[in-house]
Amino acid sequence: MLSTFDWLLRSRTGAELLATVRVLERRALAKSNPPPLPTPAPDGLQLAPPHSGLGGPCLRCWFYAPQAAEPAVYCPMCRSVLSLAAWLHKNDKAKQTVIIWGFVNQLPQELATGAYRADKRVRGAVVTDHHHFLVALYQRSVHHWLRKLLLYEGLELRGVLSIFPAEHGPHYRSGELLCQVAYQERRFAFDQLRVRFLPTPQHILRGHKLEREGLITFDAVQFMGMLESAAVFRAVMLPDEQQALRKVLAITDPNEAQFYWGRFLGMIPPEAKDMLTAWKVRQWSPGQHRLFFELVNYAAIHRVA
């Protein structure tokens, strides 16, 4: 039998990953409400016969028997996943979707009870065992979801929350990246709640240097503070000012950088100037600059009264 986690690992694209989550959810919901934990693998699947000239297993999962329909190459579960993934892809529904993979001492209440279904920001969620869950959210919803989690369960929750985009382009399989993320979490104990921020495949596959520089793993409260700062940044500076700042900070020649920094400060409003000065952004490392601008994409819109 393939487990819930096995099904997730078979996802080739972000659309397939999101579709798998939704199909698993739908099947678990049909069986019971709220779902028992851990979420069971789908029922009604027959093990495939051995390979032969006349038939063999499903061409996607290589485990279950294909459905008796034309073309009979996929099992019912894979057929459902591929059909929904095609729709999600066609309608751009998987873009901007972010995965939070949790490895925790206890499941958050809303996942254990199924209450997350009332939260419109959650695009899908599955529990794979008593210490692991996956939540799919819109990129901008990560901030609110994390804030709520820390507010209600931050004192009891321990472990690692890994945040990464569902879609990684044609060169990376979403299931394999999830496998890497799950493998890396084994280094962490249940002594505190950490957040691993992995905005690109390079962070997942070749993140050792960034990890040593302290640019991947953070204490959860520290990470929340960084997101709050990014939200303030979005509220205070216009998008073209943000881009101009990024360009100015990327200048490597000291004299040129000083010249353009002075010009830039003269262009922005006083509150933005005060904010950047207080943060001492020019003293940050290039890695810290990249991290901050990545975080801005995940920050919620902060309404200034």
Q: Shortest Cβ distance from residue 59 to Zn ion (Å)?
A: 8
Angle at 111 between CA 108 and CA 117, to 5 degrees: 135
Cα–Cα dist 118/115, whole Å:
6
Closer Cβ to Zn ion, 42 or 165, answer by number: 42
Closer Cβ to Zn ion, 41 or 251, answer by number: 41
**# residues contacting Zn ion (CB under 5 A):** 6
Examine residue 269 and say whether the peptide bond preceding it is cis (omega within 30 degrees of 0): no
Closer Cβ to Zn ion, 75 or 210, answer by number: 75
Q: Shortest Cβ distance from residue 5 to Zn ion (Å)?
A: 15
**Interactions with Zn ion, residue window 59-98 (CB under 5 A):** 60-61, 64, 75, 78
Q: Shortest Cβ distance from residue 109 to Zn ion (Å)?
A: 33
Closer Cβ to Zn ion, 11 or 162, answer by number: 11
Show Cβ contacts of residue 49 under 8 Å, excluding neighbours closer than 6 positions.
Answer: 55, 56, 57, 65
* Contact assessment for residue 18 and residue 184, using Cβ atoms and an 8 Å cutoff: no
**Interactions with Zn ion, residue window 202-241 (CB under 5 A):** none
Q: Shortest Cβ distance from residue 108 to Zn ion (Å)?
A: 30
* Contact assessment for residue 41 and residue 61, using Cβ atoms and an 8 Å cutoff: no
In which order are the strands placed within the sheet that holds 132-138? 122-129, 132-138, 97-104, 159-165, 193-197, 217-219
Cα–Cα dist 237/51, whole Å:
61
Strands (E), the chain: 97-104, 122-129, 132-138, 159-165, 193-197, 217-219
Q: Shortest Cβ distance from residue 78 to Zn ion (Å)?
A: 3
Strands 159-165 and 193-197: parallel
Cα–Cα dist 290/11, whole Å:
29
Closer Cβ to Zn ion, 60 or 89, answer by number: 60
Among positions 8, 58, 104, 177, the unique one binding Zn ion when judged by CB under 5 A? 58
**Interactions with Zn ion, residue window 157-186 (CB under 5 A):** none
Q: Shortest Cβ distance from residue 99 to Zn ion (Å)?
A: 22
* Contact assessment for residue 163 and residue 98, using Cβ atoms and an 8 Å cutoff: yes
Q: Choose one: 58-66, 159-167, 220-228, 286-294; the region binding Zn ion (CB under 5 A).
A: 58-66
Q: Choose one: 51-59, 98-106, 172-180, 208-216; the region binding Zn ion (CB under 5 A).
A: 51-59
Cα–Cα dist 126/22, whole Å:
8
Closer Cβ to Zn ion, 2 or 125, answer by number: 2
Q: Is position 27 an interface residue for Zn ion (rule: CB under 5 A)?
A: no
Closer Cβ to Zn ion, 42 or 114, answer by number: 42
Q: Shortest Cβ distance from residue 105 to Zn ion (Å)?
A: 33
Which residues here bind Zn ion, judged by CB under 5 A? 58, 60-61, 64, 75, 78
